[in-house]
Chains A and B, each alone.
Chain A
Amino acid sequence: MTQSNFAQRLKWLRERRGWTQEELAQVLGVSRATIAGYESENKGRIPREEILIKIANTFDCTIDFLLGRTNALDQFASHDTFPLNEDEQKLISTIQKLSPDHRKQVQQFAEYLLSTEEKGDRKPVVDETQPGDLNITELAAHMENEYGPIDPDLAVGIRRVIEEVLMEYDIVKKRTR
């Protein structure tokens, strides 16, 4: 197995958890640069055994997996062949118990949620942003992305506060000029 395989797998495992390199570094008690080194396919560093064990424990996987012994390289391209984590297993076993009709509904709902997440990630370009044009749906989508379902009035309320603060700022700035 090539070393770059370990680099790819570590990165994949980390991103799957939604962790930054910094966060993983904290968990493993190493520096962020060390993690970056492990994940760099060019450098191809493999950690010493003590850290390897820590990584395997952190991600609940075997060292064989980390080093690419249990999965052929071509399987790596497809995430489907990777072991599921506890949450994913639970999700799938629940869905398997549903009637075909309900399964379809879950599928549709999941697709809908995914589409809203994708929308929330889209950010307007800087030059197009006008404070007055601050879009409520986008604000709400962002908030929802960050904190889960929110009260629609919250986005409206926050927008009002922002406008008030901007006005206050402009007045203060004029006065101090």
Chain B
Amino acid sequence: MDELFEITDREGIYVSYKKLEHLANGNLLGFYFYDSQRGQPFIVLERKIDRWPILHKCVLAEEIGHYFTVPRSKFILPYASYRERLYLSIDERKALTWAAKFLISLRDLKKAIHSGCETIHDIADFLYVTPEIATIRLQQGDAREYLSDWIGTRSYLS
């Protein structure tokens, strides 16, 4: 969490906590936008989100992911995080990919798997992230490579 705020400080991203629960039936947890007039990136998070530390961390990481992956937008438009998403746009996927890689190192992932995590939810619980972030992380090249080796070794042993 501190590392994330270090990034927002370093990059000069203004983070604000606002009431969002009345929007989108409470499914909107945060969004990122860039104001070209002020030359300023913003992240807005639901004001009560700190009650759920894992969600807080993952939503913030995803919004920072937008900052790094969306080309400096020439306009103000939000890139949002929803609690329950069925569809991911390419931009959302890019941001989530960034967030997943930032929040879960390959070392963490190995630790989780060696500790006996067998499902996405096990891994998410072990690493204090949302299942969505864990899923995205497992789809990344280095994780897939490691997993296929790991599964290979195990079936060889048994």
Contact = CB atoms under 8 A, between A and B. Distances in A.
Given A20-B90, A123-B75, A146-B89, A129 B22 contact: no
A84 interface: no
B125 interface: no
Contact of A147 (B42, B75, B80): B80
Contacts of A20: 90, 94
Interface in A7-21: 18, 20
Contact of A134 (B76, B89, B94): B76
B82 A169 contact: no
B77 A147 contact: no
A130 B37 CA distance: 7
Given A147-B87, A162-B33, A166-B35, A29 B144 contact: yes
B68 to A, nearest CB: 13
Interface stretch (B1-9, B13-21, B49-57): B13-21
A107 to B, nearest CB: 24
Contacts of B73: 123
B22 A29 contact: no
Contact of A165 (B18, B74, B77): B18
B interface bracket (residues with beta carbon within 8 Å of A): 35 or more
B122 interface: no
A129 B76 contact: yes
B18 A164 contact: yes
A125 B31 CA distance: 22
Contact of B20 (A131, A142, A147, A161): A161
A54 B24 CA distance: 41
Interface in A41-96: none
Given A20-B94, A129-B74, A147-B85, 11 more contacts: A26-B140, A123-B75, A134-B76, A142-B77, A154-B24, A154-B28, A161-B20, A162-B33, A162-B44, A165-B14, A165-B18
24 contacts: A18-B90, A25-B141, A26-B144, A123-B74, A123-B75, A124-B74, A124-B75, A131-B35, A142-B77, A145-B89, A146-B79, A146-B80, A146-B89, A147-B87, A153-B23, A158-B23, A161-B19, A161-B23, A162-B78, A164-B18, A165-B18, A165-B44, A169-B14, A169-B42
Pick the 5 closest A-B CB pairs, nearest first: A126-B74, A157-B23, A146-B89, A26-B141, A165-B16
